[in-house]
């Protein structure tokens, strides 16, 4: 008999009061909610998603959720997970890159169809828009580019550099616009 699906597993930690954090976006992936939070990093970073939400959306069971939680919290990816005190109780969120790795595993294990990754990406994009909505177009683009660049160990770009990237050469006459 399989263990039941669990919305959030028991998370053991010292009794330190945590401020309730609301998700910045709740998307739908494979007909299930996937909650996104701001990254705990102070530098530009992509939104983090609740790991169990992603596992439930892929059809994973409670045993899979528990194994992934233990792996993320104690394994080599522990710096890629963070406990948030959500209104529904404590949840473990994982970085965008870890979520992409999970999705790759789900695809390899034939747990999900080809639309799963697209649905996750669309939901993550909406969460990113929520983070950058006050930055204007150039600031939002700079933030997203810098999330990638910093993640790869590269120097960030300025908002002005992002603004320059937004200028497109008009199509020559006779070419399709």
- Confidence band of 1 (pLDDT split at 50, 70, 90): very low
User: Would you state the pLDDT for residue 3?
Assistant: 46
CATH number of 112's domain: 3.10.260
Q: Considering the domain boundaries, does residue 161 fall inside one?
A: no
Domains contained in the chain, number:
1
Structure tokens at 31: 């007909």
Distances (CA, A) of 138 to 12, 44, 133: 42, 14, 11
Q: What pLDDT does residue 18 have?
A: 73
Cα–Cα nearest to 144, from 48, 45, 49? 45
pLDDT of the residue at 122: 97
pLDDT at 167: 66
pLDDT tens readout for residues 37-76: 999 999 999 999 999 999 999 999 888 888 888 877 777 7
- Give pLDDT tens digits for 97-118: 999 999 999 999 999 998 999 9
> Is there a domain that residue 44 lies in?
yes
Least confident of 17-21, 34-38, 49-53, 121-125: 17-21
pTM for this prediction: 0.81
* pLDDT(33) > 70: yes
- The answer to whether residue 73 sits within a structural domain is yes
Nearest-Å Rg of the Cα atoms of the chain is 18
Is residue 177 included in any domain, yes or no? no
Per residue in 139-176, pLDDT (tens digit) is 999 999 999 999 899 999 888 888 887 765 555 544 44
**Residue 45 is part of which domain span?**
25-133
DSSP letters for the chain: -PPPP-SS---------------SEEEEETTEEEEEE--S-SS--PPEEEHHHHHHHTT--HHHHHHHHHHHHHSTTGGGEEEEEETTEEEEEE-HHHHHHHHHHHHHTT-S-THHHHHHHHHHHHHHHHHHTTSHHHHHHHHHHHHHHHHTTPPPPPHHHHHHHT--PPPPTTS--
| Within-domain flag for 170 | no
């Amino acid at each position: 008999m399989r263990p039941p699906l669990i919305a959030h597993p028991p998370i053991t930690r010292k009794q330190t009061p945590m401020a309730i954090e609301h998700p910045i976006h709740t998307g739908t992936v494979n007909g299930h909610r996937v909650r996104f939070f701001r990254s705990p990093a102070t530098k530009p970073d992509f939104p983090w998603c609740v790991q169990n939400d992603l596992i439930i959306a892929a059809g994973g069971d409670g045993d899979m959720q528990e194994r992934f939680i233990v792996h993320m919290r104690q394994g080599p990816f522990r710096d890629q997970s963070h406990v948030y005190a959500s209104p529904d109780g404590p949840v473990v969120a994982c970085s965008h890159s870890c979520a992409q790795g999970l999705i790759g595993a789900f695809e390899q294990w034939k747990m999900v169809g080809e639309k799963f990754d697209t649905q996750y990406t669309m939901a993550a994009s909406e969460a990113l828009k929520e983070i950058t909505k006050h930055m204007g177009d150039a600031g939002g683009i700079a933030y997203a580019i810098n999330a990638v660049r910093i993640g790869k160990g590269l120097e960030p770009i300025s908002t002005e550099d992002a603004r320059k990237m937004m200028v497109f050469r008009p199509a020559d006459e006779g070419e399709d616009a």
